[in-house]
Amino acid sequence: MNILVTGAAGFIGSNLVKALLTRGHRVVGLDNINSYYDTRLKYARLAYAGIEQGDIRDGRMTTSSLSPDYRFIKLDLTDRIGMERLFADEAFDVVINMAAQAGVRYSIENPQAYIDSNVVGFLNVLECCRHHTVKTLLYASSSSVYGTDCDVPFREDAPTDSPVSLYAATKKTDELMAHVYHKLYGLTTIGLRFFTVYGPAGRPDMAPFLFLKSILEGKTIRVFNHGHLDRDFTYIDDITEGVMQIFDRMPTAEPLCRVYNIGRSEPVQLMKFIHVLEDTCGKKAVMEMTDMQPGDVLRTYADTTRLYEDFGYRPSVSVEEGIRRFYEWYVDYTNSHHNG
Ligand SMILES: NC(=O)c1ccc[n+]([C@@H]2O[C@H](COP(=O)([O-])OP(=O)(O)OC[C@H]3O[C@@H](n4cnc5c(N)ncnc54)[C@H](O)[C@@H]3O)[C@@H](O)[C@H]2O)c1
């Protein structure tokens, strides 16, 4: 199959590219490589897949030095003409949309970026699917759609009408737009509600990375809501495997419109998470206890019954194991980075 993965220089997208190539698919990766966080990490992820920074040109395909089946294009979802041309040239079978402006805190500072990438950009993806060969769209949603009022564990059929951040509102908007394109044009749309993902080459703007970095550098970490937060931390391989289970085995007879939680289903208190980080790296955290940040939720907790019933899959990597693997990657990455 010919598959487009957007957000291919991002944390989750880069892992999905790898998994798809392993399964023998042809993949085009797309990303605008924006500077929301350190682009060196985005280029490093691309380099892991054989795409060298020096070979990347705006709007042009670069073929991976590791696999002829992987090509990468630097393109923005909001570039309507560029997107249209790409879809016309490539005849994709499936699109996996991971590109988005992520992060809750930044949506307070820069709301426009969320509307641009997550709403206008997502509309372009839907329109291109509609007008070309694409039968199936898998796209990233988020646990943040559950807001603060949902009972735990969060079930997919719970009401999600009360988002508390613009980020969450754009993810909910994506689900609604996907529903429309399913109803009107028979596109199969599968929304993936991810729960706090961490692991090797993870996002530097998220707590696991920020905390580990600060602990190792002896810097102070800010612990929101005085540590009284629960997060359903989910290891990246569990996310990748969950998406691949859906991808490999989704029914194709009829167009579908579904959303799935993909989360560990075992929320961890923030303080416990910090203690596991401390134990893993053998250093104590210096902590500054602060209030809740606006837009944040007290806890996330995935009910994964639907994923299990439909695909027989449940995430399984423990926080101890996941942090150990994350820590090993981090030490390796920072060493090779500092050595040039
Ligand atoms: N990581 C998590 O914990 C988590 C949790 C819930 C949902 N999600 C969602 O999963 C998806 C992937 O998240 P991630 O953690 O890999 O984030 P990420 O920021 O690492 O990856 C997103 C990538 O998309 C690219 N991008 C952003 N806007 C773009 C645009 N307009 N055009 C082209 N490329 C663009 C960025 O450069 C980035 O490389 C996102 O949609 C995110 O909202 C992530």
φ and ψ of 73, to 5 deg: -130, 130
**Residue 36 CA to ligand 1 centre (angstroms):** 10
Transcribe 257-309 into DSSP letters.
EEEEEES-S--EEHHHHHHHHHHHHT-PPEEEE-PPPTT--SB--B--HHHHH
Residue 340 has pLDDT above 70, yes or no: no
CATH fold label, 2-194+235-264+301-316: Rossmann fold (3.40.50)
Residue 112 is given by DSSP the state: H
Give, using CA atoms, the residue closest to atom 1 of ligand 1: 197
**Residue 209 CA to ligand 1 centre (angstroms):** 16
**Residue 184 CA to ligand 1 centre (angstroms):** 27
Helix and strand element counts for the chain (H, E)? 12, 14
Establish whether the linkage from the previous residue to 208 is cis, with ω within 30° of 0.
no
Q: By the 8 A CB rule, do 301 and 267 touch?
A: yes
Nearest ligand 1 atom to the CA of 13 is 16
What pLDDT is stored for residue 221 in this prediction?
Answer: 97
What pLDDT is stored for residue 339 in this prediction?
Answer: 55
Give, using CA atoms, the residue closest to atom 32 of ligand 1: 76
Reported as a single tens digit per residue, the pLDDT across 226-239 is 999 999 999 999 99
What pLDDT is stored for residue 133 in this prediction?
Answer: 85
Reported as a single tens digit per residue, the pLDDT across 62-112 is 999 999 999 999 999 999 999 999 999 999 999 999 999 999 999 999 999
> Which residue of 11, 139, 175, 268 sits with most ligand 1 atoms within 8 Å of its CB, as the best mutation to test the pocket?
11
Give, using CA atoms, the residue closest to atom 38 of ligand 1: 10
Residues in the chain: 340
Nearest ligand 1 atom to the CA of 203 is 20
Q: What is the mean pLDDT of residues 209-219?
A: 98
Nearest ligand 1 atom to the CA of 31 is 34
Which residues form ligand 1's pocket by a CB distance below 6 Å?
Answer: 7, 9-13, 31-34, 42, 76-78, 98-102, 117, 121, 140, 142, 194, 196-197, 203
> Which residue of 83, 96, 142, 195 sits with most ligand 1 atoms within 8 Å of its CB, as the best mutation to test the pocket?
142
**Residue 170 CA to ligand 1 centre (angstroms):** 13
Q: Which residues contact 296 (CB under 8 A, 6 or more apart)?
A: 104, 164, 165, 224, 225, 229
Residue 272 has pLDDT above 60, yes or no: yes
Residue 338 has pLDDT above 80, yes or no: no
Catalytic residues: 167
The pTM of the full predicted model, rounded to 2 decimals, is: 0.98
Reported as a single tens digit per residue, the pLDDT across 131-146 is 998 999 999 999 999 9
What pLDDT is stored for residue 283 in this prediction?
Answer: 98
What pLDDT is stored for residue 149 in this prediction?
Answer: 87
**Residue 99 CA to ligand 1 centre (angstroms):** 5
What pLDDT is stored for residue 72 in this prediction?
Answer: 98
Residue type at 28 in one-letter notation: V
Per-residue confidence at 171, pLDDT binned at 50, 70, 90? Answer: very high
Reported as a single tens digit per residue, the pLDDT across 74-83 is 999 999 999 9
**Residue 25 CA to ligand 1 centre (angstroms):** 22
**CB-facing half-sphere around the CA of 22: CA atoms within 13 A:** 10
Give, using CA atoms, the residue closest to atom 19 of ligand 1: 10
Per-residue confidence at 129, pLDDT binned at 50, 70, 90? Answer: very high
Q: Which two tokens mark 32?
A: 């605008």
Q: What is the mean pLDDT of residues 169-192?
A: 98
Give, using CA atoms, the residue closest to atom 20 of ligand 1: 10
Q: What is the mean pLDDT of residues 154-158?
A: 98
